[in-house]
Amino acid sequence: MRVTFARPILNRLGAYVVFVTDGGKMSESANQLNKATKGSLKRALESSRFNGAEGQTLVVLGPEGVSAKQILLLGIGEPDKVGTLVAQSLGGAIYRVLSDSGLKSSSVLVDNIPGVKISNAEFAANIAYGCHLRSYRFDKYKTQEKSKDSPSLNSLAVMLKDVKGARRKFVPLQSVVDGVFFTRDLVSEPANVIYPISFVARLRSLTKLGVKIQVLDEKKMKKLGMGALLGVAQGSANAPRLVAMQWSGAPKSKETRPIAFVGKGVTFDTGGISIKPAGGMEDMKWDMGGAGVVSGVMHAMASRKAKVNAVGILGLVENMPSSKAQRPGDVVKTMSGQTIEVINTDAEGRLVLADALWWCQKRFNPHTVIDLATLTGAIIVSLGYHHAGMFSNNDKLADQLLVAGKATGEKLWRMPLGKAYDKQVRSQIADMKNVGGRDAGSITAAQILQRFIQEGVAWAHLDIAGVTWSKTDSATAPKGGTGFGVRLLDRLVTDQYESR
């Protein structure tokens, strides 16, 4: 998708998009086009249910009197409710309606609408952003698709007077789009293509952006005593990797301790010897979603040259059953020295993160650690598909994350932690067991992670099992990998760590 910004002109081919507010009031550009088309738009409005409610669309085909082949009336709802998120959804709606219209290009006339609280430049940039995000496709393995069945729309001209302002606002958003697409690509790939070593190979593009990458292989991890991560990996023919990506963008005079993002990167989760049922197991190709998001947010920050020091850690393993696989009942020793009794080999994410989190803190001394993991099915029972679960030892960090979630539409819901839950993972023979029973499954998982967080480190754990993959289209994402977390964390960094 090519997005450009230009001053308004009315002689383009393709489609024109114009705004209508709640109650059917046409924008200035809509009125102009209405005149040029001898009242076609007004008649279309009067002959349908369309009334300008947010997200409503009405396409006028082959209008007379203008060069445009189609005019899309786009409802923007009540002007005072139009913010950046609404603008992004509107951009997504434009793509949804026009992508298979048969037209290659479209121009949206971003008029100044009285009552809209964001600047015209911001409105325009966010329409472009939403349209771009919605245009994602993962079609590399479709070899027989006819061109008539694939999207025709490949360029969007966003028209407004303040072209410069809109371009300036769009620059960082383009970086975020690239980061989100990087994540969606990783998450969408099947597990015969993305496994730990090939995942690492994909990260080379980050080096070009100035990200430093360190990779630990099995030998090094053994030396460091990462028995929990290695225990998960030992059943697979695909060797594990632990990755550190470093972005150092903070001015030299500022704080040097980094913020750290840690991702669960189980490139396929069969469950191991505690094997999962066959139905739906293919979904477990995206059990590396946390690692995908961490990679994407590093991509976004490096690409927009964020003024922050950040590290991204990925625990990359494949969880397979085999004669070499770990067994239920095995006891593993983590790098921290704590031992874990592995009751269920399908509760592997926490084992991987135990060592990844510990190494991250020892190696980089971060002030803040945020981990992301498709950790539990239980979080889907709790929150469904519309909030990720958040657990934190720090109210300030938790609040900042909640704010970033609301601002980006990647919403979080804070869940509790506490001693009573921690008791559920006591083991008879080791320091802990890796499952705490059926009750409060997401919380007991988080309790285990917290045992690997050092004193004084602000920590949040995001359980993204319900939001990493979507079975339905949303305003700004086609069904499939969502990239949930990239926008959220990029926003957190922008608002909390770059300005200080």
Active site residues: 276, 350
Q: With binding defined as CB under 6 A, does residue 287 bind ligand BES?
A: yes
- Alpha-carbon distance of 71 to 393, in angstroms, equals 52
Q: Is 378 in the site for ligand BES (CB under 6 A)?
A: yes
Q: Does 30 bind ligand BES (CB under 6 A)?
A: no
Q: How far is the CB of 364 from Zn ion (least distance, A)?
A: 25
* 371 binding Zn ion? (CB under 5 A): no
Q: Which of 189, 346, 355, 490 binds Zn ion (CB under 5 A)?
A: 346
**Token pair of 308 as six digits:** 């922050």
Binding mask 264-283 for Zn ion (x = CB under 5 A): --x--x--------------
The token pair at 31 is 């009125």
Judged by CB, which is closer to ligand BES: 284, or 306?
284
Is residue 344 involved in binding ligand BES (CB under 6 A)? Answer: yes
Q: Does 490 bind ligand BES (CB under 6 A)?
A: no
> Any contact of residue 352 with Zn ion (CB under 5 A)?
no
Cβ burial 355-383 (10 Å sphere, 16+ → b, else e): bbbbbbbebbebbbbbbbbbbbebbbebb
Q: In the bound complex, what is the minimum distance in angstroms from residue 435's beta carbon to ligand BES? A: 4
User: Does the protein bind Zn ion through residue 422 (CB under 5 A)?
Assistant: no
Q: Is the dihedral of CA 292, 296, 298, 299 positive or negative?
A: positive
Q: How far apart are CA 486 and CA 79, in angstroms?
A: 28
- Answer yes or no whether residue 432 interacts with ligand BES by CB under 6 A: no
Give the nearer residue to Zn ion in terms of CB position, either 346 or 490. Answer: 346
Kindly tell me which of 68 and 187 has the beta carbon lying closer to ligand BES: 187
Q: Residue 360, interface with Zn ion (CB under 5 A)?
A: no
At closest approach, how far in Å is the CB of 123 from ligand BES? Answer: 36
Using CB under 6 A, pick the residue from 70, 105, 334, 374 that binds ligand BES. 374
**Angle between the N-to-C axes of helices 84-98 and 395-408, in degrees from 0 to 180, rounded to the nearest 10:** 40
Tell me: does residue 166 bind ligand BES (CB under 6 A): no
Question: Using an 8 Å Cβ cutoff, are 479 and 468 in contact?
Answer: no
Amino acid at 8: P
CB-based contacts of 57, cutoff 8 Å, min separation 6: 50, 72, 73, 74, 75, 93, 97
* 136 touches 96 (CB < 8 A): no
Tokens of 180: 């989100």
DSSP label of 495 = I
463 binds, among Zn ion, ligand BES, none (CB under 5 to 8 A by kind): none
- Candidate ranges 246-254, 344-352, 414-422, 438-446; the one touching Zn ion (CB under 5 A): 344-352
How crowded is residue 53: how many other Cβ atoms within 10 Å of its Cβ?
16
* Residue that has been written with the tokens 């434009």 in this structure: 94
Smallest distance, Zn ion to C-beta of residue 262, A: 15
Binding status of residue 424 toward ligand BES by CB under 6 A: no
- Residue 258 binds ligand BES (CB under 6 A): no
Verify binding: residue 269, ligand BES, rule CB under 6 A.
Answer: yes
> Using CB under 5 A, which of the segments 30-38, 55-63, 322-330, 347-355 binds Zn ion?
347-355
Minimum gap (Å) between residue 153 Cβ and Zn ion: 37
258/441 with CB nearer Zn ion = 441
349 binds Zn ion (CB under 5 A): yes
Q: Bin 317: left if φ > 0, else alpha if -120 < ψ < 50, else beta.
A: beta
Q: Is there a contact between 188 and 138 (Cβ–Cβ < 8 Å)?
A: yes
* Contact positions vs Zn ion (CB under 5 A): 266, 269, 287, 346, 348-349
